[in-house]
Amino acid sequence: MSLLSASDATLVKLMGEMPRGPRREGLFALWLTLRVAQDVFLIPAPPERSMRRRVASLDQRLSSLSLPAPLRRALAAALAELKEPGRPQAALALQQLVAPAREVLGLEAAEAIGRAARTAAQRVRDE
């Protein structure tokens, strides 16, 4: 995936437009999670130990954010998937975030995560 994918760019743009508060922090949490999930698809793949540290850092960072409840639950499930090494788990983690993102943050954020999830799933199928 590119250094700054279209999904990344959309989430960053939305963060800039969103007033401070739980919804903005939700966008930030999605963006952080997206970045960690995308790293699984780098070629060459990062070492497993490095990814475990990235996921642990993500978990710690997300715990300090004030997030709407549906998004907090979805991010916890996505983190559980990311803790298991592998590209299929990263694709699933992103897919699990689409509906809560739509509910809490709106259609544009959900479309950005959905686009990333479809790209990840396609890369898994192509392997």
- In angstroms, the CA 33 to CA 123 distance is 18
Identify the weakest region by mean pLDDT among 47-51, 58-62, 105-109. Answer: 47-51
21 torsion bin: left (phi>0), alpha (psi -120 to 50), beta (else): left
- Average the pLDDT over 21-33 and give the result: 95
Residue 2's pLDDT band (boundaries 50, 70, 90)? very low
If pLDDT is split at 50, 70 and 90, which confidence band does 46 have?
confident
Q: Taking residues 63-92, report their average pLDDT.
A: 93
Mean pLDDT of 92-119: 95
pLDDT at position 3 = 45
How far, rounded to the nearest angstrom, does the alpha carbon of residue 125 sit from its chain's CA centroid? 19
Lowest mean pLDDT among 44-48, 87-91, 113-117: 44-48
What confidence score (pLDDT) does residue 127 get?
Answer: 80
Q: How confident is the model at residue 4 (pLDDT cuts 50, 70, 90)?
A: low
DSSP string, 34-56: HHHHHHTT-SSPPPHHHHHHHHH
Distance CA 14, CA 65 (A): 17
- 68: amino acid identity, one letter: P
Euclidean distance between CA atoms 118 and 35, whole angstroms = 15
